[in-house]
Chains A and B, each alone.
Chain A
């Protein structure tokens, strides 16, 4: 219950931040850029627009996670607003869960807004794209942001905003290459290969959420892929938040 109250407040905090308005403007500007670049795309204007439109959800979402998410808890510690919350009957894990829920809701709203703008642009240009495929692409981009937000919230509870941002960006970058890491592991000596393989398993498997090529081709993905991606995201988020909550539980607020 209290997690939802905190989530509502975190959502309010994120959407009232001027940064969010800036991100929406940047998203619109990116879509406009695709239209300027379309004549240079040799008849691939639709593909370029879809690809960049979906990429903008991931990149601008990541921007919000790094600038807002990684300081979400640290800022409360720094400004001591956390005293007013945790001196109430709120379990610390519920507090972290609420923070994640709130920023995830804001990120999903951002994904929906940018996805909606992309759909409108495609319709205006008369480029036919499968609505189901586009919706699935936006959904998976939102799931990816939810996973990265959980990582950011965990680091934010344990570290300074700058370090949290670095850790989150690092994990995001390695997560984008997790498939390649797994492939590389097979070519390393066995001991090193196991370490690299384990690292690839621990970092978030972000390629699972990437279906930009499919959407650009106008092909929807399978229900199994969607179910697997959803299950993986929820499990990964639960593990990361549990880890963060275990450390946060022992924290002193001096």
Chain B
């Protein structure tokens, strides 16, 4: 039996069983948000009955197309939006209470800052507002400015920062008080490959420290690289939440068999659907799953066809995400649940 350690997140039981919010980093029950237009009073449902548990020490990625409800979820959790229905807790504290944000670091999507401050001044301000005293805030600000690669010009005013520099500063501001829970809305947005790598390293470093990380992203390879579990939100509802490996395994995959071309052969009918194509002087057979591989190989060997490679190709998160989105589209009345990934 595996004994959970502090750095290994315990996965919550599936379903809507009542959770103990105190034991979870994030707990949401029946969370809903309606937006009412100021003039027409037309109601738009932004979030609909979201149940979500995030264990302490876990990295959970939220996926969803634009307008699915990811940012709404994160804003409710951080106290920026009031939920229309349902309840949520951060580290056991209801999100309505100011105390729920004591251990929280938040990076909003496309963060904006006071451009009249320098990077050092801004981080010091962020630290003070998160409860650090004056004597701790200044060295901590200098440390995190250095850590995100902006330490060489601490007095540079933020109006002269590039977009990538601002994103790094935002991340440092979320981390300056060394919180136990990080909520990051599109943390890789607008970053070049080096910036994305640095952010990934920071998130992994925080995970190693035992920090819970909840983040939304459109960049699926980053999600695959970082997450313990993935939640897919579509049309304001939680469509799937599962460990990453289970999701990818569920997504299935094709098996590709490459063999020498120029050999005539017939495949037996019981092998299932097989896609056959000629590519770079080879015949490529693509099987929808691995069940028929043995029979196909036997048939090829009987026909004397030299087999050069058998390659299982698993579907990635992207394929799964698109499939889920298509499924929701098929059931939605307006067909607008999926926009762009």
Across the interface, A88 reaches (CB within 8 A) one of B35, B110, B130, B170, namely B130
Across the interface, B125 reaches (CB within 8 A) one of A9, A17, A80, A252, namely A9
A81 at interface by CB-CB < 8 Å: yes
B75 surroundings in chain A (CB, below 8 A): 253-254
Q: Do the beta carbons of A89 and B99 come within 8 Å of each other?
A: yes
How many A-B pairs with Cβ below 8 Å? Answer: 75
Q: Which segment, of B59-67, B100-108, B140-148, B227-235, faces chain A?
A: B100-108
Across the interface, A12 reaches (CB within 8 A) one of B98, B111, B116, B129, namely B116
Across the interface, A89 reaches (CB within 8 A) one of B98, B114, B173, namely B98
Interface residues of B in 91-140 (CB under 8 A from A): 98-99, 101-102, 104, 106, 108, 110-114, 116-117, 125-126, 128-131
Interface residues of A in 202-254 (CB under 8 A from B): 250, 252-254
Instruction: State which size class the interface on A falls in.
Output: 20 to 34
Of A87, A90, A91, most buried by chain B (CB within 10 Å of CB) is: A87
Q: How far is the CB of A145 from chain B (nearest CB, A)?
A: 22
**Chain B count of residues within 8 A CB distance of the other chain:** 29
Q: Do the beta carbons of A2 and B129 come within 8 Å of each other?
A: yes
Q: Please measure, in the bound complex, the distance between the C-alpha atom of A222 and the C-alpha atom of B84, giving whole angstroms.
A: 54
A6 at interface by CB-CB < 8 Å: yes
Q: Do the beta carbons of A90 and B82 come within 8 Å of each other?
A: no
A89 surroundings in chain B (CB, below 8 A): 98-99, 101-102, 104, 129-131
A120 at interface by CB-CB < 8 Å: no
B117 surroundings in chain A (CB, below 8 A): 9, 12
- A84-B106, A88-B106 known; 9 new pairs, CB 8 Å cut-off, are A6-B129, A9-B125, A13-B114, A13-B116, A83-B112, A87-B101, A87-B104, A90-B101, A91-B98
25 residue pairs from A and B, CB less than 8 Å apart: A6-B129, A9-B125, A80-B110, A80-B111, A81-B112, A81-B113, A83-B78, A83-B80, A83-B106, A83-B111, A83-B112, A84-B106, A84-B113, A84-B170, A85-B129, A87-B108, A88-B101, A88-B106, A88-B126, A88-B129, A89-B99, A89-B130, A90-B98, A250-B82, A253-B80
Chain B residues close to A by CB (< 8 Å):
35, 75, 78-82, 98-99, 101-102, 104, 106, 108, 110-114, 116-117, 125-126, 128-131, 170, 173
